[in-house]
Chains A and B, each alone.
Chain A
Amino acid sequence: RKEVEQDPGPFNVPEGATVAFNCTYSNSASQSFFWYRQDCRKEPKLLMSVYSSGNEDGRFTAQLNRASQYISLLIRDSKLSDSATYLCVVRSAGFQKLVFGTGTRLLVSP
């Protein structure tokens, strides 16, 4: 079983739509949580960290449910430029290595 599970998609949505991605992690010792964005043939880039209380950055909202070991990302008012692969990433206490999910591909169409 993968340590971080994501639906690979693709999610095809029209501009302006709201889309949500989910992710589950298996290691209960996971301490830090992130969403990264990766454009085609590019490097991953940090989109946002995910905090226990939930957090928002513009059109992006991230939620964490430690009891269910579940992380979500909500994108409102999708833009064409949001088309990318969204990677769910966790880090365990005492370790610096990042553990990645396989990513969820988002395609936003006009």
Chain B
Amino acid sequence: EAGVTQFPSHSVIEKGQTVTLRCDPISGHDNLYWYRRVMGKEIKFLLHFVKESKQDESGMPNNRFLAERTGGTYSTLKVQPAELEDSGVYFCASSQDQGSAYEQYFGPGTRLTVT
């Protein structure tokens, strides 16, 4: 069974540009999460989808970040316009259901560098 996949693996953009990250969860997983790790800091939660609905977006840093999950399958995270402090590794995770009995499986991450 394929794991969580993310695209691209790396992205280097200039400040002010737009970048869109994609996440494909494990097939059949209704729950999809975005996290990010900025340099020197801990991994932090951004938001949680259940199917196509945003259940918790309390971690989204500001309105330059837009996450979508049309159709309840893959998700995109757009940063527009990108700022230097957006640099970091963006992880996507998915789980079959909610609750601690259901492991969140992480993708390999997208390393974003804003110059």
Contacts and interface: CB of A to CB of B under 8 A. Distances in A.
B and A form one assembly: yes
Interface of A: 2, 4, 31-32, 42-46, 49, 87, 91, 95-103
Contact of B45 (A32, A43, A99, A102): A99
A2 B42 contact: yes
A97 B42 contact: no
Contact of B106 (A4, A43, A91): A43
Contact of B59 (A43, A45, A97): A97
Interface of B: 31, 33, 35, 41-45, 48, 55-56, 58-59, 91, 95, 98-100, 103-104, 106-109
A16 B47 CA distance: 41
A77 to B, nearest CB: 26
A97 B32 CA distance: 10
21 contacts: A4-B42, A31-B100, A43-B106, A43-B107, A43-B108, A43-B109, A44-B106, A46-B104, A87-B43, A96-B31, A96-B33, A96-B48, A96-B98, A97-B33, A97-B48, A97-B58, A97-B59, A100-B35, A100-B42, A101-B42, A102-B42
Question: Mostly helix, strand, loop or mixed at chain B's interface?
Answer: loop
A32 B102 CA distance: 11
Most buried by A among B58, B91, B106: B106
A100 B42 CA distance: 6
Contacts of A100: 35, 42-44
Given A43-B108, A99-B45, A100-B44, A91 B100 contact: yes
Given A43-B107, A98-B35, 16 more contacts: A4-B42, A31-B100, A43-B106, A44-B91, A44-B106, A96-B33, A96-B55, A96-B98, A97-B45, A97-B56, A98-B43, A98-B104, A99-B45, A100-B35, A100-B43, A100-B44
